A = this chain, B = another copy of it.
Amino acid sequence: MRIVVLAGGIGGARFLRGLKQAAPEADITVIGNTGDDIHLFGLKVCPDLDTVMYTLGGGINEEQGWGRTDESFRVKEELAAYGVGPGWFGLGDRDFATHIVRTQMLAAGYPLSAVTEALCNRWNPGIRLLPMTDDRVETHVAVELDGERKAIHFQEYWVKLRASVPAEAVVPVGAEQAKPAPGVLEAIAAADVILFPPSNPVVSIGTILAVPGIREAIAEAGVPVIGLSPIVGGAPVRGMADKVLAAVGVEATAAAVAAHYGSGLLDGWLVDTVDEEAVAVVEAAGIRCRAVPLLMVDTDTAAEMAHRALELAGEVRA
């Protein structure tokens, strides 16, 4: 079975770990979000790709869900001693090495997809990880700060400001001109099932879908497209998805997110058991829906979620 998964960071990575357990024989291609990529200290940092790579490769800091396990911060401390910031982005020493290798390869002319493959050669994540695009896309968030309306980098909004001010708009700058990375459209066309994990529908999966050609390829693939709600009981399971949902005029409910993707894209949708009442609403919109436990407390629960998603795909196919 060939499975294509659109993934953001922590939620996507943890779901993927469950999926690998639920479908150990499957051939899994992950299309990773690169809209939250950022240049820091002259280095190219790809937080979502790295979170997937570290999580599936056994190098993740399990507690925080991002960054390396057993991490130290000596480089960052020294940069601060030079007065060089930003200090709000937590780059650890071990993590720095990843960005140094990536930046060096990019400077040598390799596209991000080739660099990602090279990095994965070390981590053996057990899936094929493709960036959504080799082109530069940067998600910016329009906010009002100190009485002034300005667009800031998503990481500044998310990590520095902790989404503490309303997001007035979310713009994946560069997406319109971006092309899907080599292999992305081919993987979608060859897929038996396409999954949207409980990643952020706006700044993770939404950004991937903003690359021209990807949404269309998924809609036309002719295979079940199954999503899992990142909203449980009217609030994000983790993160601050509600903050950016508001920016695109979508309510923070499991049913509203399904409607946001739409029946043109989604064939099936899983909501949490606490959102049982959403099932009828979603089905009325033409999307098959089931209520199952959606809290990923460990790999087993993530595997059970993946199992239920694949089960729903089977139902759709039948």
Q: Which residues of A contact B (CB under 8 A)?
A: 41-43, 72, 74-79, 81-84, 93-94, 96-98, 100-101, 103-104, 107, 119, 122
Judging by beta carbons under 8 Å apart, are B104 and A78 in contact?
no
- Contact of A82 (CB < 8 Å), options: B75, B79, B101, B103: B101
Judging by beta carbons under 8 Å apart, are A42 and B94 in contact?
no
**A74-B93, A81-B122 known; 15 other A-B pairs, CB under 8 Å?**
A42-B103, A42-B107, A72-B72, A72-B74, A72-B93, A74-B74, A75-B100, A78-B97, A79-B97, A81-B97, A82-B101, A82-B122, A83-B122, A84-B104, A96-B96
State the copy count for this chain. 2
Given contacts A72-B72, A75-B75, contact A82 B97 (CB under 8 A): yes
Give A41's nearest chain B residue, CB to CB: B100
Judging by beta carbons under 8 Å apart, are A84 and B72 in contact?
no
Judging by beta carbons under 8 Å apart, are B100 and A43 in contact?
yes
Could you list some 10 contacts between A and B, CB below 8 A?
A41-B104, A72-B72, A74-B74, A75-B75, A75-B100, A78-B93, A78-B97, A78-B98, A79-B100, A93-B93
**What residues of chain B lie closer than 8 Å to A100, measured between beta carbons?**
41-43, 75, 79
Least CB distance from A124 to B in Å reads 12
CA gap between A21 and B74 in the complex, in Å: 32
| A contact face: mostly helix, strand, loop, or mixed | helix
CA gap between A42 and B44 in the complex, in Å: 12
CA gap between A42 and B82 in the complex, in Å: 20
Judging by beta carbons under 8 Å apart, are A75 and B104 in contact?
no
Least CB distance from A226 to B in Å reads 35
**What residues of chain B lie closer than 8 Å to A75, measured between beta carbons?**
75, 93-94, 96-97, 100
Least CB distance from A257 to B in Å reads 38
CA gap between A150 and B11 in the complex, in Å: 53
CA gap between A97 and B42 in the complex, in Å: 12
Most B CB atoms within 10 A — which of A43, A76, A97? A97
Give A103's nearest chain B residue, CB to CB: B42
CA gap between A54 and B122 in the complex, in Å: 35
CA gap between A312 and B123 in the complex, in Å: 63
Give A70's nearest chain B residue, CB to CB: B74
Least CB distance from A250 to B in Å reads 39
Judging by beta carbons under 8 Å apart, are B42 and A104 in contact?
yes
CA gap between A84 and B118 in the complex, in Å: 11
**What residues of chain B lie closer than 8 Å to A98, measured between beta carbons?**
78, 82
CA gap between A93 and B83 in the complex, in Å: 17
CA gap between A83 and B118 in the complex, in Å: 10
CA gap between A81 and B124 in the complex, in Å: 13
**What residues of chain B lie closer than 8 Å to A94, measured between beta carbons?**
74-75, 78
Least CB distance from A309 to B in Å reads 33
Least CB distance from A33 to B in Å reads 23
Give A105's nearest chain B residue, CB to CB: B42
Least CB distance from A111 to B in Å reads 16
**What residues of chain B lie closer than 8 Å to A96, measured between beta carbons?**
75, 78, 96
